[in-house]
Chain A
Amino acid sequence: MSSLLQAGKSWYSEINSGWNRFWFTPSAPHTLALLRILAGTMLLYTHLVWAKDLVAFLGPDSWIPRAASIELHQGTYAWSHLWYIDSPGILWAQHVVVLIVMAMFTVGLFSRVTSVLTCLLTISYCHRLEGALFGLDQVNVMLAMYLMIGPCGAVYSVDRWIAKRKAGDHLPRPKATTSCNIAIRLIQVHMCIIYLFGGISKLRGEMWWDGTAVWYAISNLEYQSIDITWLVRYPWLIALLSHVTVFWETFYCFLVWPRATRPIALGLAFCVHGGIALFLGMITFGTAMIIGNMAFLPPHWVESAIDYFATSRNAVKAPEAPSPSVRRRKCSA
Chain B
Amino acid sequence: MTDRDATSQPDNNWPSKWRVIISLLLIIHVVAVFVPPFMLQASGSGGTSPIGEVVMNTLQPYIDIAFLNHGYAFFAPNPGPSHLVRARIEFDDGRESIESTFPNLNEHWPRLLYHRHFMLSEQLTAQYRPPQLPPEISQEPELAERWQTARRMYELKLRSFKEHLESKYDAPHVTLTRVRHRMIDVFEVTEQHKSLDAPDTFYDLREDGFVPPEGFLGGTP
Q: For residue A186, which residues in chain B have a CB less than 8 angstroms away from its CB?
A: 26, 29-30
> Which of A90-98, A191-199, A317-325 lies at the interface?
A191-199
Are A182 and B72 in touch, CB under 8 angstroms? no
Are A221 and B119 in touch, CB under 8 angstroms? no
Q: A225 within 8 Å of B by Cβ?
A: yes
Partner among A24, A49, A201 whose Cβ is within 8 Å of the Cβ of B19: A24
Are A27 and B6 in touch, CB under 8 angstroms? yes
Q: Which of B16-45 contact A (CB under 8 A)?
A: 19, 22-23, 26, 29-30, 33-34, 37-38, 40-41
User: Other than the known A27-B6, A78-B64, A281-B111, what 18 A-B pairs have Cβ atoms closer than 8 Å?
Assistant: A17-B10, A27-B1, A28-B3, A46-B112, A53-B116, A71-B153, A131-B124, A176-B3, A194-B37, A195-B72, A201-B71, A201-B76, A205-B78, A221-B181, A229-B196, A282-B115, A299-B5, A300-B3
> Which of A1-9, A157-165, A207-215, A263-271 lies at the interface?
A207-215
Size of interface on B: residues with Cβ below 8 Å to A: 78
Q: How far is the CB of A96 from chain B (nearest CB, A)?
A: 19
Cβ contacts A133-174/B at 8 Å (1 or 0 each): 111101001000100000000000000000000000000011
Q: A85 within 8 Å of B by Cβ?
A: no
Name B's A-contacting residues (CB within 8 A).
1-11, 14, 19, 22-23, 26, 29-30, 33-34, 37-38, 40-41, 60-62, 64-67, 69-79, 81-82, 84, 103, 110-120, 123-124, 153, 156-157, 159-161, 163-164, 167-168, 181, 183-186, 189-190, 196-197
Q: Which 8 interchain pairs have the tightest Cβ spacing? A: A205-B77, A197-B37, A201-B76, A201-B73, A28-B5, A61-B167, A205-B78, A222-B82
Q: For residue A62, which residues in chain B have a CB less than 8 angstroms away from its CB?
A: 160, 164
Report the separation of the CA atoms of residues A190 and B196 in the bound assembly, to the nearest whole angstrom: 36
- Considering residues A73, A131, A138, A232, which has the most beta carbons from chain B within 10 angstroms of its beta carbon? A131
Q: How far is the CB of A192 from chain B (nearest CB, A)?
A: 10
Are B3 and A219 in touch, CB under 8 angstroms? no
Partner among A49, A65, A283, A298 whose Cβ is within 8 Å of the Cβ of B1: A298
Name A's B-contacting residues (CB within 8 A).
17, 19-21, 23-28, 45-46, 49, 52-53, 56-57, 61-65, 68, 71-73, 76-79, 123, 126-127, 131-136, 138, 141, 145, 173-174, 176, 178, 181-182, 184, 186, 189-190, 193-195, 197-198, 200-208, 212-213, 215-217, 219-225, 229, 232, 235, 281-284, 296, 298-300, 303
Question: Known interface pairs A65-B160, A220-B183, A300-B2. Does A24 touch B103 (Cβ–Cβ under 8 Å)?
Answer: no
Report the separation of the CA atoms of residues A193 and B37 in the bound assembly, to the nearest whole angstrom: 9
Report the separation of the CA atoms of residues A76 and B153 in the bound assembly, to the nearest whole angstrom: 14
Are A141 and B67 in touch, CB under 8 angstroms? yes
Q: For residue A45, which residues in chain B have a CB less than 8 angstroms away from its CB?
A: 112
Partner among B6, B65, B119 whose Cβ is within 8 Å of the Cβ of A176: B6
Are B26 and A23 in touch, CB under 8 angstroms? yes
Q: For residue B6, which residues in chain A have a CB less than 8 angstroms away from its CB?
A: 25-28, 176, 181, 299
Are A217 and B79 in touch, CB under 8 angstroms? yes
Report the separation of the CA atoms of residues A53 and B164 in the bound assembly, to the nearest whole angstrom: 13
Question: Known interface pairs A131-B120, A300-B3. Does A219 touch B153 (Cβ–Cβ under 8 Å)?
Answer: no
Q: For residue B184, which residues in chain A have a CB less than 8 angstroms away from its CB?
A: 219
Partner among A23, A24, A222 whose Cβ is within 8 Å of the Cβ of B84: A222
Q: How far is the CB of A259 from chain B (nearest CB, A)?
A: 8
Question: Known interface pairs A65-B163, A78-B67. Does A26 touch B7 (Cβ–Cβ under 8 Å)?
Answer: yes
Q: How far is the CB of A271 from chain B (nearest CB, A)?
A: 16
- Considering residues B5, B157, B181, B185, which has the most beta carbons from chain A within 10 angstroms of its beta carbon? B5
Q: For residue B110, which residues in chain A have a CB less than 8 angstroms away from its CB?
A: 49, 52
